[in-house]
Copies of this chain bind each other. A is one copy, B any other.
């Protein structure tokens, strides 16, 4: 870890000047093919790699980004992060992880810390309560996930499309009494948009709407399913897989098995525990990919903040 070579060494070893080595290193034009090859040979031979810190000091960028997840054990966020990591590595960025635990205060603290560390960019998994002005300083180097805000880059799921797809499927199967278990409107995407999509479909097809919006937690699903079940109910849509997990536990306990469950989010756990549930994949993997790509483009100044929506795929 100690006596690593420097460009100076490489220069000496290949009989050229430091700057030539630097040019080769950065694939700059204006180096003869012969010289380049020679220098590259020496580099490989010694397994040379330039000092990050030194480059950072000159270039202002240390090629570090942060990913702030809400919870490390969020099934959906995991899927997104899983595709994000390789994408960052590929471009030479080191992703550091932080957990917000759905606390705006933690987000603030983390962002403060990141700013002091002069980090290149941030992917933030959004949740309700985050105020835009906290994010302001990051406008140019932030990608919001699962949430959008005007002026900020974001990668969102197609909340409306996802719900509509599920409803459509159930409708085609003949269901006419479909209940809904969701999240309060204070959560704009998972809460409001999905619920409204449900209501819209019901209205359009003249179906009775029976809904409850307890929250994101499994236990809330478990506790509240009963409240949306009527004697006519034949199907139930859950806004998230977590809610569906809670709901189905209740249904199982009550031995209610004449109900078609459907939910947004086809995580592996869900697929395994309840393959009978109709799910729609909001495209977590794709979202992770896009978020990383977008952030990198922004960092390199090759893109303005864009708002991306991932199409949902029924599965």
Q: Is A2's beta carbon under 8 Å from chain B?
A: yes
CB distance B99 to A97 under 8 Å? Answer: no
Q: A49-B116, A53-B56, A53-B57 are in contact. Are A78 and B73 (CB under 8 A)?
A: yes
Interface size class of A (residues with CB under 8 A): 35 or more
CB distance A82 to B60 under 8 Å? Answer: no
B-side contacts of A246, CB under 8 Å: 272
CB distance A54 to B57 under 8 Å? Answer: yes
CB distance A81 to B85 under 8 Å? Answer: no
Chain B, residue nearest A113 (CB): B89
Distance, CA A56 to CA B60, complexed state (A): 14
- Chain B CB within 10 Å — which of A1, A54, A56 has the most? A1
CB distance A62 to B73 under 8 Å? Answer: no
Q: Is A245's beta carbon under 8 Å from chain B?
A: yes
Interface bits A226-268 vs B (CB < 8 Å: 1, else 0):
0000000000000000000110010010000000000000001
The 10 lowest CB-CB distance pairs between A and B, nearest first, are A53-B56, A49-B116, A53-B57, A53-B53, A73-B78, A97-B97, A94-B96, A72-B78, A96-B96, A54-B57
Interface set of A (CB-CB < 8 Å, partner B): 1-2, 4, 49, 51-54, 56-57, 60, 62, 64, 67, 72-73, 75, 78-79, 81-82, 85, 89, 94-99, 113, 115-118, 141, 218-219, 222, 245-246, 249, 252, 268-269, 272-273
